[in-house]
Chains A and B, each alone.
Chain A
Amino acid sequence: DTGVSQDPRHKITKRGQNVTFRCDPISEHNRLYWYRQTLGQGPEFLTYFQNEAQLEKSRLLSDRFSAERPKGSFSTLEIQRTEQGDSAMYLCASTTGTDAEKLFFGSGTQLSVL
């Protein structure tokens, strides 16, 4: 059990470019979550998966955002045509769904859009 892993740790991009982040949850965890955290604020829920099914998406997740979890293992979060307002830390978390209230978080991907 190596914990929740996120890659990359930092990403700098120019406005208008596409970016993709990856999250590898703890292996036996069937639920996976994405949160966004802006400076000085708490994380905000974006979306979650149970296995490969995306069961809920926040209104924060505009059409430029897409998330996938093929085969119920790792997940990717893609942002198309990035905007400066997308600059934030993107956190991934996972849980088993049994001890369901305990979420395990990764260290996040810090996105800076110039």
Chain B
Amino acid sequence: AQTVTQSQPEMSVQEAETVTLSCTYDTSESDYYLFWYKQPPSRQMILVIRQEAYKQQNATENRFSVNFQKAAKSFSLKISDSQLGDAAMYFCAYRSQPMEYGNKLVFGAGTILRVKS
């Protein structure tokens, strides 16, 4: 079974600075998806960024980018120019590629990100 590990329970960053959240995963599959989700106090999970394992290029979405190291099974999230609205719980998640597995996500335990003004 796949597992996802987030080793940082909590991180802090100064507004406008850059922060990196860590994630490692364990799988024997060669093709899969990785995601970062944000969960603000409103509780609704919001997709931040996703990465297909077969793509070597790291995904980027505006201020958010990932460092995907397939061999090391590492998938970190970098947030540049941090804003107060970035404060939330961040979850790393894994999904197997084949659709017959139902598209279910395996989540890590999460990292609380605090942004200081």
Q: Identify the A interface with B (CB < 8 A).
A: 31, 33, 35, 40-45, 48, 55-56, 89, 91, 93, 95, 97, 100-103, 105-108, 110
Contact = CB atoms under 8 A, between A and B. Distances in A.
A100 B99 contact: yes
A42 B103 contact: no
Given A40-B110, A100-B99, A101-B33, A45 B105 contact: yes
Nearest to A91: B45
B95 A45 contact: no
Interface in B75-116: 91, 93, 95, 99, 102-110
A56 B102 contact: yes
Interface residues of B, number: 23
Interface of B: 4, 33, 35, 42-47, 50, 91, 93, 95, 99, 102-110
Given A42-B109, A105-B45, A107-B44, A56 B104 contact: yes
Contacts of A97: 99, 103
B45 A101 contact: no
A15 B62 CA distance: 47
A41 B110 CA distance: 7
Contacts of A45: 104-106
Nearest first, the 9 A-B pairs at minimum CB distance are A42-B107, A105-B45, A45-B104, A107-B44, A107-B43, A108-B43, A56-B102, A101-B33, A42-B91
A33 B109 contact: no
Contact of B42 (A35, A101, A102, A107): A107
16 contacts: A40-B109, A41-B110, A42-B107, A42-B110, A43-B91, A45-B104, A48-B102, A55-B102, A56-B104, A97-B99, A97-B103, A100-B99, A101-B33, A106-B44, A107-B42, A108-B43
